[in-house]
Every structure is written in structure tokens, then in C-alpha cells.
């Protein structure tokens, strides 16, 4: 029988005190991330940027983390003051000190600038997103204004006038905090968040090329931005008519404030009370005569703003991946330190297996995100990159829908890995989970993105699937030549590809295509991740890189499980009708 002397009575200061988990350098401590960069960057570029990444990887655990914590402190959440003491309308939104500091850090660190200076050509995007990856989990959603700023810079680069490029673009891509501007992106209105074609806001030409915009925007994220990109229904200057639906919408750019500092026809109706992203000011806005300029052609607002969405969607995808990475960093360090049932958690079989599942999801998501970034860089910097643009157009909604969905669930699981402590605000997982959740919603919900996948298939008459298959096969065929240990995984990917093709063939009606869109999107995401994990493992083996053995294991573990190769279950029309009955109680008219 084990006996021991009685313990002294524990008080709040004596007795057991758990050693807390600590964050190490977020670049040096992340072999998955480092290996992705090795695969996707020329060695000379990586050698040049690595000191900056290593320095920044340390900084995001120090002053930047303090700024983020300051932003997410309840007393510091944004406040709206609508009137001054004399009943003058002022509509001032105050934000945390940390919020302002995060803005300055973003400019100084070149978190937008790097992508547009293009010092490393197509690889500049990877460098920029590598820094975003490090910055996001510490910055309490300053990545939101930054992602929209990035999208706005790109749209101005594509569609803007010389004047816009000399003024707005220069500011959006500046490294000088005194010059740096951020941009918002206002689409959502009360009748339609997903179905933007129902928007009510209207734009009327007043003088020269200046438009006057009036209406009500229901969600405006980062309302303290200096500039905004917005959609409005164009009143035809010739006959005063407006066109209904999304073809009547044009894209406009407007400054938040007029030269005298007054708001530019904007009234802040109220701040939103959100589930997460608490430090990010999101507001309802009344627009009355907001002066704006049109970007691109009238009626082409949705395709115009889609250039922003296609960038912010990659941010959303990466945002979940790095949130999960942060949750895992905390959970892993805790596992080394926490004793339970006569062992530390890192030696407890079920705990190991649970964290390994999350590690797989993280690695899969990181591969998909950085592959999209790689393609984005090529489309912006390489001539004749139409093929890359076509595949990126197809992969972006797949990446956003699939990675955000599996990643948020994994963040929730990581919270549980610390037991009750995981649920405590000051441990650091709560904010990650809350903030990650929005990424499944904004910039298109999972269903909207799944329908976007269907849209691309329709628009390309199925060619995107052929391109997808070729790209995947090219990656896995090349990889198995490097390592025979990847053959099983590669075979699984081929089976998964065949299943997808059979599945698409079997969906014959519009109803079937739509009701199966989510399944299809997830299967495409899962398969893409498989091919990229195989490619990473082969690269590591070929170059004898640290972590190669684990990456071979990961590729096999991801691809050689039942869910990966299982056939997709076709939801046919009669099944949808039956499902409608169990959900809504009666047969749906669809």
C-alpha cells in the first residue's frame, strides 16, 4: 500500500501551482511552416527573408501579443459616441490603444507593402503571407482591415485611375504609419448578405466623375478605416433608371472623411454586438450623399469586388490555420508540463492521438493556404499565368470553405486539451476560437462558397475539374518517383479523384448539383490536401530535410484512412424532398 505524509493544507499561494504553457518563437518553433517555405521559395529568397521571419516570430509573442491582448480587453472594446455635449452629431468610434499600435506595426513591418513592392517577384506574396501568418493570431483581428486593404490595393491596381494609384494605392501600400491607410469593404445590406444582388444603396452622378451614394450598410467591418470599397446600384445618368439584381451594382471607392475631417456622408447607426472579433469595430452605417468615385465599369460591381473577395478569402483560410497553430502551440506545451494519472499528457496515448488529429488538420490547412498564396503570387507577377489564375479561381472557394470548417472544429478540440483551463479567457485559446469562427461566415459562408465552386464548374463547362485532376496527378506522380513510401497515399488520391468524377457525373439535375455542392467541395479540399502533403513529403525526402520522416507519415496518415477514399453519397432529388420534411415539417417546393 502506498502511503505518504499528509499534505500541508493548500492555500491560494501554497500547494500545487501548474507551470503555464509558454509561446516560443513562432517561426523557429514551427517546423511545418518552415518546411512549406522551403518547398515554395527558392533557397536564395528564403535565406534573405529568414532573419526577418525569425525576428518577427519572436516579436509576435512579445509586444504585438500585448497589443492584441489590450484590444481584446472588454473595457477597451470599441465604443461609439454619436453626439457631443451640445447635441451635435459626431459619430466617433474609439478603439483600443493596441488597435492603433497594431496599425503602425502593420505598416512598418510591410504587412501589405511586401506584396506590392514585389522585391521577390512572385515570391513576395509568400513572404507577405508568411508574416501575416505570424501576425494574425497575436493581433486580435487587425488582420481584418489588413485583408481588405490588401484587396483594395489590388483592385485599384487593376481598375483604378492614375490619380487613384498616385493617392490611394500609394497610401494603402505604404510602410510609413503616418501615410498608411486602411480600407473597408462594404457589401452587406439588410436584404442580402449572401445575395448581394438585392442591395438597396444607390449612387447618383453629381458632378464630373463624382457620385453621391445613399443607403444603409448593415455590416461594415473595420469602420475606422480611412477608405472604403463599396457596392451601390447605379442610377443611369442618361435616363435616371436603375437596373435590378447584381448586374445593376457598380463598385465605388470613397474616403471616410472629407478634407475638413468631417465624415463623408456617413452616420454610424450603431456598433454590432458580435460573438467574437470583439476589438474590431463593426457598424451599421447610414449613407447620405457619400462622395465616391466609380471603379471599373457600371454594372460590373460584383466581379470588381470579387477581386477583393478572392484575396480576403485566402486571408480567412490562413486565419483559421494560424489560429489552430496557436491553439496547438499552447496545447502541446501544456502537454509536456501537465501531469495526470501518473504521467505527463505528452506520454498519454489518447491525448497523443487526439492532438495528432489536430496536427493533421493544421498541416493540411497550411498546405492548402500556402498553395493558394503561391498561385496568387504567380498570377500577379508571372506573364502568361492564365492556367494558374484558372486553378486559383477554382481553389479559393474550396480552400476557404473546407479549411475554415475543419480548422474551427479543431480549435475547439484544442481548447478541450487543456480541460477547464482551456476555457479560461487569459489562457489564450478562447479568443482564437471565437475569432476563428467568423471565418466560416464572412467573405461567404460555407454554402455560398460551395455554390461558387459549382458556379466555376458551370462557367468552365467542367474544364476546372480536368485542370484540377491534372494538377493533382502531376504532383503525386512526381512525388512517388522520389519516394516509394508515398505510393499507397498516391493511390488513395487517385481513388478519391475517381470518386469525385463519378460523383459529378451522377449529379444530373440542378437540384442535385446544389444539394451535393458541400460534399463535393469538401471532397475536393480533402483530395487537394492529400496531394500537397504527398508533395511536401517527397520534397523533404529528396532534400533530406529535417522532419521528412514525419511528413511521409503525415501524408500516409491523411490519405490512407477510410474517409479519404470512401465514395461520396449522392443526395438525389427525392432525398432532398424527404430531408425538407424532417427539417421543415412539410415537403419543400424546390
One of 27, 370, 442, 522 touching ligand MFK (CB under 6 A): 442
One of 71, 227, 283, 316 touching ligand MFK (CB under 6 A): 316
CB of 315 to ligand MFK, least distance (A): 4
Is residue 191 part of the contact set for ligand MFK (CB under 6 A)? no
Q: Classify residue 478 by burial, with Cβ atoms within 10 Å: 0-12, 13-18, 19+.
A: middle
Is residue 302 part of the contact set for ligand MFK (CB under 6 A)? yes
Contacts of 93 (CB under 8 A, 6+ apart): 78, 79, 80, 81, 223, 224, 268, 271, 281, 283
Contacts of 169 (CB under 8 A, 6+ apart): 116, 153, 156, 157, 160
Nearest to 226 by CA among 270, 272, 169: 169
Place of cell 457589401: 187
One of 70, 128, 147, 492 touching ligand MFK (CB under 6 A): 147
Rounded to whole angstroms, the maximal C-alpha distance in the chain is: 96
Cα separation of 12 and 79, whole Å? 36
Interface with ligand MFK (CB under 6 A), residue total: 28
Is residue 57 part of the contact set for ligand MFK (CB under 6 A)? no
One of 76, 128, 221, 348 touching ligand MFK (CB under 6 A): 221
CB of 500 to ligand MFK, least distance (A): 21
Nearest to 363 by CA among 156, 177, 131, 540: 540
Is residue 129 part of the contact set for ligand MFK (CB under 6 A)? no
Is residue 303 part of the contact set for ligand MFK (CB under 6 A)? yes
Among the residue ranges 153-161, 228-236, 439-447, 488-496, the one whose residues contact ligand MFK (CB under 6 A): 439-447
Is residue 284 part of the contact set for ligand MFK (CB under 6 A)? no
Is residue 152 part of the contact set for ligand MFK (CB under 6 A)? no
Cα separation of 137 and 134, whole Å? 7
Is residue 372 part of the contact set for ligand MFK (CB under 6 A)? no
Closer to ligand MFK by CB, 306 or 568: give it. 306
Cα separation of 449 and 468, whole Å? 17
Cα separation of 405 and 401, whole Å? 6
CB of 1 to ligand MFK, least distance (A): 57
Cα separation of 326 and 338, whole Å? 18
Integer angstrom CA distances of residue 226 from 179, 254, 263, 349: 11, 9, 10, 52
Annotate each residue in 378-417 with x if it binds ligand MFK (CB under 6 A) or - if it does not, as one string.
----------------------------------------
Is residue 64 part of the contact set for ligand MFK (CB under 6 A)? no
Outline where DSSP puts E strands in 36-128: 79-83, 89-94
Annotate each residue in 446-475 with x if it binds ligand MFK (CB under 6 A) or - if it does not, as one string.
--x---x--x---x----------------
CB of 120 to ligand MFK, least distance (A): 23
Asked if 155 and 168 touch (Cβ cutoff 8 Å), the reply is no
One of 183, 312, 450, 536 touching ligand MFK (CB under 6 A): 312
Closer to ligand MFK by CB, 448 or 480: give it. 448
Pairing mode of beta strands 227-234, 266-271: unpaired
Among the residue ranges 107-115, 120-128, 142-150, 343-351, the one whose residues contact ligand MFK (CB under 6 A): 142-150
- The full 3-state SS of 117-166, as one line of letters, equals HCCCHHHHHHHHHHHHHHHHHHCCCCHHHHHHHHHHHHHHHHHCCHHHHH
Task: State the residues that interact with ligand MFK by CB under 6 A.
Answer: 143-144, 147-148, 185, 187-188, 194, 196-197, 221, 246, 302-303, 306, 309-310, 312, 315-316, 319, 442-444, 448, 452, 455, 459
Amino acid at each position: 500500500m502506498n502511503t505518504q505524509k499528509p499534505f500541508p493544507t493548500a492555500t491560494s499561494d501554497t500547494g500545487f501551482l501548474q507551470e503555464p504553457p509558454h509561446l516560443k518563437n513562432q517561426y523557429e518553433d514551427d517546423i511545418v511552416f518552415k518546411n512549406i517555405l522551403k518547398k515554395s521559395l527558392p533557397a536564395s529568397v528564403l535565406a534573405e527573408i529568414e532573419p526577418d521571419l525569425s525576428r518577427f516570430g519572436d516579436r509576435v509573442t512579445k509586444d504585438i501579443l500585448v497589443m492584441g491582448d489590450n484590444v481584446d480587453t472588454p473595457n477597451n472594446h470599441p465604443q461609439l459616441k454619436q453626439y457631443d455635449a451640445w447635441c451635435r452629431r459626431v459619430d466617433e468610434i474609439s478603439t483600443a490603444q493596441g488597435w492603433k499600435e497594431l496599425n503602425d506595426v502593420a505598416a512598418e513591418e510591410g504587412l501589405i507593402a511586401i506584396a506590392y513592392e514585389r522585391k521577390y517577384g512572385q515570391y513576395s506574396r509568400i513572404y507577405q503571407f508568411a508574416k501575416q501568418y505570424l501576425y494574425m493570431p497575436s493581433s486580435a483581428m487587425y488582420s481584418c482591415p489588413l485583408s481588405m486593404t490588401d484587396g483594395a490595393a489590388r483592385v485599384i491596381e487593376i481598375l483604378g485611375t492614375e490619380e487613384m494609384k498616385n493617392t490611394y494605392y500609394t497610401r494603402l501600400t505604404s510602410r510609413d504609419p503616418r501615410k498608411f491607410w486602411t480600407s473597408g469593404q462594404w457589401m452587406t445590406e439588410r436584404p442580402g448578405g449572401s445575395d448581394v444582388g438585392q442591395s438597396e444603396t444607390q449612387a447618383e452622378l453629381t458632378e464630373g466623375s463624382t457620385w453621391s451614394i445613399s443607403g444603409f450598410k448593415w455590416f461594415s467591418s473595420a469602420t475606422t478605416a480611412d477608405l472604403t470599397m463599396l457596392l451601390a446600384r447605379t442610377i443611369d445618368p442618361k435616363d435616371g433608371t436603375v437596373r435590378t439584381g447584381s448586374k445593376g451594382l457598380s463598385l465605388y471607392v470613397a474616403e471616410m472623411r472629407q478634407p475638413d475631417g468631417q465624415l463623408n456622408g456617413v452616420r454610424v447607426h450603431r456598433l454590432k454586438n458580435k460573438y467574437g472579433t470583439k476589438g474590431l469595430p463593426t457598424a451599421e452605417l447610414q449613407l447620405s450623399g457619400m462622395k465616391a468615385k466609380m471603379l471599373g465599369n457600371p454594372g460590373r460591381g460584383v466581379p470588381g469586388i470579387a477581386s477583393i473577395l478572392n484575396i480576403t478569402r485566402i486571408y480567412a483560410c490562413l486565419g483559421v490555420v494560424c489560429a489552430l497553430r496557436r491553439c496547438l502551440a499552447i496545447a502541446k506545451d501544456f502537454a509536456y508540463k501537465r501531469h495526470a494519472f501518473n504521467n505527463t499528457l505528452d506520454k498519454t496515448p489518447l491525448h497523443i492521438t487526439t492532438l495528432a488529429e489536430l496536427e493533421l488538420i493544421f498541416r493540411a490547412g497550411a498546405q492548402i493556404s500556402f498553395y493558394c498564396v503561391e498561385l496568387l503570387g504567380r498570377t500577379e507577377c508571372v506573364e502568361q499565368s492564365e492556367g494558374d489564375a484558372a486553378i486559383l479561381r477554382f481553389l479559393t472557394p474550396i480552400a476557404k470553405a473546407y479549411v475554415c470548417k475543419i480548422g474551427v472544429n479543431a480549435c475547439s478540440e484544442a481548447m478541450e486539451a487543456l480541460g477547464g483551463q482551456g476555457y479560461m479567457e487569459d489562457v489564450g485559446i478562447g479568443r482564437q476560437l471565437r475569432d476563428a469562427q467568423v471565418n466560416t461566415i464572412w467573405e461567404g459562408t460555407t454554402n455560398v462558397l460551395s455554390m461558387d465552386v459549382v458556379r466555376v464548374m458551370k462557367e468552365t463547362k467542367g474544364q476546372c475539374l480536368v485542370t484540377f485532376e491534372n494538377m493533382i496527378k502531376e504532383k503525386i506522380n512526381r512525388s512517388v518517383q522520389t519516394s516509394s513510401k508515398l505510393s499507397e497515399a498516391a493511390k488513395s488520391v487517385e481513388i478519391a479523384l475517381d470518386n469525385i468524377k463519378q460523383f459529378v457525373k451522377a449529379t444530373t439535375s440542378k437540384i442535385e448539383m446544389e444539394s451535393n455542392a458541400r460534399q463535393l467541395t469538401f471532397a475536393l479540399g480533402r483530395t487537394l490536401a492529400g496531394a500537397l502533403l504527398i508533395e511536401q513529403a517527397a520534397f523533404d525526402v529528396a532534400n533530406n530535410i529535417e522532419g521528412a520522416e514525419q511528413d511521409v507519415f503525415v501524408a500516409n496518415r491523411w490519405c490512407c484512412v477510410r474517409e479519404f477514399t470512401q465514395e461520396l453519397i449522392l443526395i438525389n432529388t427525392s432525398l432532398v424532398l424527404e430531408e425538407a420534411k424532417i427539417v421543415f415539417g412539410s415537403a419543400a417546393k424546390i
